[in-house]
Amino acid sequence: MAAPTASKLLALETSSEWCSVALFSGGQILAREVLAGQTHSELLLPMVEGLLAEAGLSLASLDAVAFGSGPGSFTGLRIACGVAQGLAYAAGLPVVAVSSLLALAQASGAERVISCLDARMGEIYCAAYRRDAHDWQCEQEPVLCRPEAAPLLEGGGWVGAGSAFAAHGETLAARYRSDLVEQRPDLHPSAREVAVLGAGQYALGMSVPPEEARPLYLRDRVALTVEERERLRAAAPAGSA
């Protein structure tokens, strides 16, 4: 998807341990990124303010706000969506939700990408995309699954991108065999890619009012309550971990 150079768009991405912001303006991109761990909520707004100041732009001068909608960290997705909604509402701007797995594919620079993020608990977030002459085509919609059950794909020449290839590289390599030509476990979703994809989606009318923006959650429950953990521990066989 070619991003229109006339768009001015702010992008946020906090679906992983990385916190990043980017500004797409006049076909150029300014971006900032930091390994945040669990401090996204403290870092995100100051990063936005610093980036706008560096560009000499106000929030109201932009066309839209984009955010990495997931799947990914439950807390991170809530932060990105909430901040995008708040900024957009205050400035009277629409919001563009960009798949974090698609942003991961964009970051790879490849033509056929299996985007996989480590979802913890022995599971992964997985999707597959193919780039044609004009845009990305989704070959496999985002799913939550175990790595040994990752969706199989037609054809070969796939590049595997994302943290799941660091956590489950051998399992995924066995699953895809010769169809997988390269693994890029170092890649993660970034606001730079969200900005490019978001500008393209905005030009196609794929934006919503702030109150309608939603993250993509693939896992309903992210943690057990203390009571549930105690119940499971009590039910576990003696000597088990």
Domain chopping of the chain, boundaries: 8-100+189-212, 102-184
Regarding the domain delimited by 102-184, which CATH topology (the fold level of the hierarchy) does it fall under?
A: Nucleotidyltransferase; domain 5 (3.30.420)
Q: Which residues contact 186 (CB under 8 A, 6 or more apart)?
A: 166
Q: Does domain 8-100+189-212 have CATH number 3.30.1540.20?
A: no
What was the pLDDT predicted at 176? 97
Position 224 scores a pLDDT of 43
Q: Is there a common fold for 8-100+189-212 and 102-184? A: yes
Per-residue pLDDT of the chain (241 residues; tens, 9 = 90+): 666 666 899 999 999 999 999 999 988 999 999 999 989 999 999 999 999 999 999 999 999 999 999 999 999 999 999 999 999 999 999 999 999 999 999 999 999 999 999 999 999 999 999 999 879 999 999 999 999 999 999 999 999 999 999 999 999 999 999 999 999 999 999 999 999 999 999 999 999 999 999 999 998 644 444 454 455 455 444 443 3
Note the pLDDT of residue 232.
43
- The string of DSSP codes covering 76-121 is HHHHHHHHHHHHHHHHT--EEEEEHHHHHHHHHT-SEEEEEEE-ST
